[in-house]
Amino acid sequence: MLAETLRLAVQAIFRNALRSALTMLGIVIGVASVIAMVTVGRGSTEQVASDVRKLGTNVAIVVPGQGAMRGGPHVGTAPMFTLRINDAVEAGVAAVAVSAPISQTRERAIFGSANRMTEVVGTDNRYFEAARWQVAAGRLFEEGEVRAGRTLCILGETLRQALFGSGDPVGATIRIGALSCRVIGLLRSKGASTFGADQDDFVILPLAAFQRRIAGNSDVQTLYVSIREGAAVDAAREEITRLMRELRRIGPGEDDDFEVLDTRQFATMLTGITGILTGLLSAVAAVSLLVGGIGIMNIMLVSVTERTREIGIRLAIGAQARDVLAQFLIEAIILSMLGGVVGILAGLGLGLAGARMLSVPFAPDPLTVLVSFGFSALVGIIFGFFPARRAARMDPIEALRHE
Amino acid sequence: MAEPPVIVLERISRVYGTGEIAVRALDGIDLTVRAGEFIAIMGPSGSGKSTAMNVIGCLDTPSSGNYRFMGVEVAGLTRDQRALLRRHYIGFVFQGYNLLPRTSALQNVELPLIYRGRGRAERQKAALEALARVGLESRAAHDPGRLSGGQQQRVAIARALVGAPKIMLADEPTGNLDTRTSVEIMEMLRGLNREGGLTIVMVTHEPDMARYADRLIWMVDGRIARDEPTPGIA
């Protein structure tokens, strides 16, 4: 009996193939958009996660001022750090493996007729260790070169491509603003970060060279801290904060004039974004499924009216109300589930295209796919019920008289 | 002991509407139909023929009176219980054939068996047999749209027969057919009655068709005016 009802429903759907397709469209669009967005969203999240991993799971960044991550006004009045503070943090906090001093600015890098505005970073070899940069060609700095502040530089992949194409930059001399420096190394590419920033678009000089020849001061803007494997990040942050307050001579009750940020704060921020996205998606899904459901109800009502005579015949030869109810309800459910399946396929296709376009991983969520399918079936049940009940309640005598 | 009558109507009334505008379509009908009878109901339009058929066919319930179908009191049954009676014991033939469009003759004939929960193979076998009884086994795969009126009515008869009903109710079965085809259909019904022992109640407005029955009920104004044997076929 159930097999018969299913067969009947499928027959009815394919008899009016075009109308059925148009009816499903609402559900298709709703499900497809949700699947596509979730897929791309998850891809981005995975990208972020992998970026954070690249950043190092146990990384903290110390910056002057407060509110840098909250998007508040970056307090420019807080004094910068110095190399001495950096080294004191590295030496004075047991949980800190390495602390790299960083200063940076934007400047034009020039080689021959090629040039590019890029990030110019002054630091030392500790940065490569803390941020897990690997050498693709050439070498890193030597101890003496850092101390002496030699005008040597190491390129990121993006800048290499801008200045040298696919050529070998090692040994060439480029200009950074007015400063000439010899390229001694090239770093392996890390690719774009989550926020779309190109992580490879930079040139690195020894800190002393940067301070003297480019910045004209002895400031350190950021401490890039790598925390030892197994050490508690929270405890390390507290210890860094305590030491920093001491070094910066901040009295009890005074606010910090610096901030210690760790990767979890990035994660928190991302979670927030994901939450907003999920909310929006739910709204889109709800509205489109509602619209799709109303479409199905509408067509099912038309179908019931059109087939009044058929219903009369079925009732006359012995169909009970529930037989007729099941027939039309199952038809509505199959229609909406079919819409769900088409939507899922379309959504996965769109998601794949979107992931390609944004160069994030293709990460479909099996749960979302399942839930979408379930919801489309549910829409069929809810919006198919009213037309089906109308069919089931028909008076066989009147239905048989229907022209 | 004789089999109980298939149908016993006692003082059956059917009133539509209430109060001043109430219409009394059936006004105290008494009628007994025994197994193997072939009855024709005639009467002017509005005399209550169709209402009587609907009540007998358990499609409608009387407003008052008793109706026993095979010994079961129908008046107190629910809609779904009446559907079960129709499903198992009653075959319908309509004036307008009422076959499902775009559905083969075979599938149309199978329909009642679907609601009896029979398996596909069994259904097809029974449906082919029923089509053979009306001489249409060669048209099993045809849609109603490709069959003549007479052929469509024969498919409808096969559909009514397929479940081996206790009674066949035919509502103006020849109303849409020309005389020659009408005679074919009536010959067939009479054959089913005589040879198959099928009980038939038929509504018609054509005296020539009523002659094929054994007993004629003449209705006027919701009442049975005459109940007599038919003159038979000349």
Q: Does A232 fall in a domain?
A: no
Question: Is A278's pLDDT higher than 80?
Answer: no
Q: Is B107 in the A-facing interface, judged by CB distances under 8 Å?
A: no
Tokens encoding B75:
């008046």
- Pick from A4, A318, A400: which is nearest to B83 by CB? A318
Report long-range pairs for B184-193 (Cβ below 8 Å, ≥24 apart): B184/B150, B185/B150, B185/B153, B185/B154, B185/B157, B186/B212, B187/B212, B188/B134, B188/B154, B188/B157, B189/B38, B189/B157, B190/B38, B192/B133, B192/B157, B192/B161, B192/B168, B193/B36, B193/B38
pLDDT at B229: 94
Q: Does A329 fall in a domain?
A: yes
d(CA A193, CA B121) in angstroms, rounded, equals 65
A310 half-sphere exposure, CB direction, 13 A CA radius: 17
Q: Which residues of A touch B155 (CB under 8 A)?
A: none
As a whole-number percent, the residues of chain B with pLDDT over 70 amount to 99
Q: What is the CATH number of domain B7-229?
A: 3.40.50.300
Q: Does A91 fall in a domain?
A: no
SS3 assignment, position A324: helix
Residues B132 and B151 sit within 8 Å (Cβ to Cβ): no
CB contact (8 A) between residue B79 and residue A321: yes
Residues B122 and B116 sit within 8 Å (Cβ to Cβ): no
Mean pLDDT of chain B, nearest integer: 93
Residues A220 and A110 reside in one and the same domain: yes
pLDDT tens sequence across A38-95: 888 888 777 777 766 666 667 888 888 876 555 444 456 788 899 999 999 999 888 8
Q: Which residues of B touch A1 (CB under 8 A)?
A: 114-115, 117
Q: Does A263 fall in a domain?
A: no
CB contact (8 A) between residue B83 and residue A320: yes
Q: Which residues of A touch B114 (CB under 8 A)?
A: 1, 4
CB contact (8 A) between residue B59 and residue A397: yes
Residues A214 and A333 reside in one and the same domain: no
Chosen from A317, A320, A400 to mutate, greatest number of chain B CBs within 10 A: A317
pLDDT at A72: 45
Residues B87 and B116 sit within 8 Å (Cβ to Cβ): yes
Q: Least CA distance to A1: which residue of chain B?
A: B117
Please give, rounded to a whole number of angstroms, the shortest distance from the CA of A393 to a CA of chain B. Answer: 10
pLDDT tens sequence across B88-132: 999 999 989 999 998 999 999 999 999 998 999 999 999 999 999
Question: Is A192's pLDDT higher than 70?
Answer: no
pLDDT at A194: 52
Amino acid at site A164: F
pLDDT at A150: 92
Q: Is B150 in the A-facing interface, judged by CB distances under 8 Å?
A: no
Please give, rounded to a whole number of angstroms, the shortest distance from the CA of A395 to a CA of chain B. Answer: 8
ipTM, 2 decimals? 0.95
Residues in chain B: 234
Calculated CA dihedral for residues A193, A195, A198, A200, nearest 10 degrees = -40
Q: Which residues of B touch A396 (CB under 8 A)?
A: 59
A274 vs B128, higher pLDDT: B128
Average pLDDT score over residue span A88-114: 91
pLDDT at B15: 94
- Angle, helices A2-15 vs A321-357, to 10°: value is 60
CB contact (8 A) between residue A15 and residue B54: no
Q: Which residues of B touch A314 (CB under 8 A)?
A: 111, 115
Tokens 């105290």 found at = B28
d(CA A222, CA A215) in angstroms, rounded, equals 14
CB contact (8 A) between residue B102 and residue A15: yes
pLDDT at A74: 47
Tokens encoding B133:
């009884």
Q: Distance between the two ends of chain B, CA-based, in angstroms?
A: 35
pLDDT at A237: 87
Name the domain boundary from A225, A256, A282.
A225
A282 vs B13, higher pLDDT: B13
Name the domain boundary from A169, A196, A225.
A225
Size of interface A-B (CB pairs under 8 A): 54
Tokens encoding B78:
């629910």
pLDDT tens sequence across A228-249: 887 888 888 889 999 999 888 8
Pinpoint the alpha helices (H) of chain B.
49-56, 79-89, 105-115, 120-133, 149-161, 179-196, 207-210
CB contact (8 A) between residue B115 and residue A317: yes
Q: Does A74 fall in a domain?
A: no
Residues A298 and A353 reside in one and the same domain: yes
CB contact (8 A) between residue B87 and residue A315: no
pLDDT tens sequence across A292-345: 899 899 999 999 999 999 999 999 999 999 999 999 999 999 999 999 999 999
Determine how many CB atoms are found less than 10 A away from the CB of residue A251.
Answer: 6
Provide CB contacts within 8 A for A78, sequence distance 6+: A64, A65, A66, A257, A258
Mean pLDDT of chain A, nearest integer: 87
Tokens encoding B187:
């010959």
Residues B227 and B215 sit within 8 Å (Cβ to Cβ): yes
pLDDT tens sequence across B182-206: 999 999 999 999 998 999 999 999 9
A46 half-sphere exposure, CB direction, 13 A CA radius: 15
Residues A277 and A356 reside in one and the same domain: yes
pLDDT at A255: 85
Query: What Cα–Cα distance (Å) separates residue A256 from each residue in A80, A241, A396?
Result: 13, 8, 83
Please give, rounded to a whole number of angstroms, the shortest distance from the CA of B232 to a CA of chain A. Answer: 31
Q: Is B166 in the A-facing interface, judged by CB distances under 8 Å?
A: no
Question: Is B44's pLDDT higher than 50?
Answer: yes
CB contact (8 A) between residue B54 and residue A397: yes
A43 vs A350, higher pLDDT: A350
Residues B63 and B54 sit within 8 Å (Cβ to Cβ): no
Q: Which helix (H) or strand (E) holds A184?
A: strand A179-187
pLDDT at A73: 46
CB contact (8 A) between residue A317 and residue B159: yes
Residues A43 and A112 reside in one and the same domain: no
Please give, rounded to a whole number of angstroms, the shortest distance from the CA of B175 to a CA of chain A. Answer: 15
d(CA B190, CA B143) in angstroms, rounded, equals 27
pLDDT at A231: 81
Q: Does A92 fall in a domain?
A: no
Provide CB contacts within 8 A for B158, sequence distance 6+: B105, B109, B127, B130, B131, B133, B134, B136
Residues A293 and A396 reside in one and the same domain: yes
The total of structural domains in chain A comes to 2
Name the domain boundary from A225, A240, A258.
A225
pLDDT band, residue B76 (cuts 50/70/90): confident
Rg (CA), chain A: 32
Residues A30 and A338 sit within 8 Å (Cβ to Cβ): no
Q: Does A277 fall in a domain?
A: yes
Residues A280 and A211 reside in one and the same domain: no
Q: Does A160 fall in a domain?
A: yes
Q: Which residues pair with A183 in a beta bridge?
A: A153
Average pLDDT score over residue span B58-83: 93
Please give, rounded to a whole number of angstroms, the shortest distance from the CA of B86 to a CA of chain A. Answer: 5
Residues A38 and A157 reside in one and the same domain: no
CB contact (8 A) between residue A318 and residue B100: no
pLDDT at A332: 93
Question: Could you say which residues from 84 to 103 on chain B have a Cβ atom under 8 Å away from some Cβ of chain A?
Answer: 84, 86-88, 90, 92, 94, 98-100, 102
pLDDT at A337: 93
Residues A392 and A272 reside in one and the same domain: yes
Question: Is A111's pLDDT higher than 50?
Answer: yes
Closest CA to A28 of A332, A335, A233: A335
Per the rule left: phi > 0, alpha: psi between -120 and 50, beta: everything else, A321 is alpha
Closest CA to B138 of B105, B112, B162, B97: B105
Tokens encoding A79:
């004094």
Determine the structural domain holding residue A18 and report its residue range. 2-51+268-401
Residues A292 and A393 reside in one and the same domain: yes
CB contact (8 A) between residue A315 and residue B54: no
d(CA A304, CA A328) in angstroms, rounded, equals 8
SS3 assignment, position B71: coil
Beta pairing, strands A152-155 & A179-187: parallel
Q: Which residues of B touch A313 (CB under 8 A)?
A: 98-100, 111
d(CA A370, CA A193) in angstroms, rounded, equals 31
Residues A217 and A299 reside in one and the same domain: no
pLDDT band, residue A266 (cuts 50/70/90): low
CB contact (8 A) between residue B83 and residue A4: no
